[in-house]
Chains A and B, each alone.
Chain A
Amino acid sequence: MPNADTPHLRPDLHPDLPKDQIERVQKILEQVLTYLRSQSCKLPPEADLALTYDLQPEVDR
């Protein structure tokens, strides 16, 4: 049974996908979103988005 708070693929809308593939990605997404949300809810309001240029800082040794 999919977690109500996690977006899930409906097998009836995706008859082209094997059920086991749907279950596999569902399980992974539930696990990942649950953990992400448990951590992101602790973020302070001033924490803003990472932009690509944030990934290239010169770091002092």
Chain B
Amino acid sequence: MGNVEGRSTAITVLTPYKPTGRLLLPIVFWIGRHVTATLKKLQMLSFIHYARWVIVKRFPDGGDGERLRYPYLMFESNFNGSWDQYIDAFSEVVPTRMKGIWGTSYGFPGPIPVEPFKDYIRANEYVANHYYNAYPGATTTEIISAAKVAAALDDLRARAPSLSPDAFKAAYEDMLTSIQNDL
């Protein structure tokens, strides 16, 4: 059990939010979906594999769903690196967005300073009882790099038969230079 599988860590957070969130969160997430800057910011946090936020107005029960006094915000993420680094990065790189997302949640202390933010996440976190990762040895950066390497390799592989040895050597060295940051 636990939140770690290989090099990835799971985080699962569920928090109740205020009535103002009923109005604001749909706007915050609409912007998140339609204004690419938010997703680009998340991409900049180059250690997130997958993440999601889910608004839980009713907890599914097979019927109409169970409605509590408050709606809830669920956050699920898969990242590599330590839990502390992850929350630090959220606090430092995307504080405005964190405030937009959790700002209407009860008890949210704000993303800065980071220690109360960490206490808040810790207090509202659920530990995974079973966590599976299909590529436990790989970081997000390695996966993205590997895609670039594979594309460059495929290109050279296709061209190789028609190149003279000297032209191949030059193309091979060019390829290594072009992907040196991805190896």
Query: Do A and B belong to a common assembly?
Result: no
- Tell me the A residues contacting B by CB distance below 8 Å: none
- Tell me the B residues contacting A by CB distance below 8 Å: none
